[in-house]
Amino acid sequence: MAPGRQNPSGTWTVGYPIHSERLNRVIRALVAVGAVTPAYLWIDNPPPTLPPDGRLSPADAMRAATAIVRGERFSDGTIAQAARDGLIDAVGTSLCAWYAAEQGHDGRT
């Protein structure tokens, strides 16, 4: 976490989370492939939770990706919590499996 601090002008910089480069790449990839979508009204709906089996449908994976990435703008730590809980891993696994199925292979190649 980057701490807040007072600048020489007297203004304050607000602290913010600093994520690893690996996690930042995952977040950028989710945005780049369209998994973070304005079509899901995340603020009006509860975010998908990780079921006991750890699997998300592709639709729930997109809902979760949107809620995680957009939610970080309003609540610092949303991304970090999703990473700790395994939700980001489940999002990636679901979307990769869906893509592999759409491409007609099992995803192992």
Instruction: Give residue 13's pLDDT.
Output: 87
Instruction: Give residue 50's pLDDT.
Output: 92
CA separation for the pair 108, 68 (Å, rounded): 27
Q: Which helix (H) or strand (E) holds 29?
A: helix 21-32
At residue 55, what are phi and psi to the nearest 5 degrees? -110, 140
Rounded percentage of the chain residues whose pLDDT exceeds 90: 81
Which residue type does 22 have? R
Give pTM, 2 decimals: 0.84
Neighbours of 7 (CB within 10 A): 8
At residue 32, what are phi and psi to the nearest 5 degrees? -65, -35
Please give the structure tokens belonging to residue 94: 């679901």
At 54-73, the pLDDT tens digits run 999 999 999 999 999 999 99
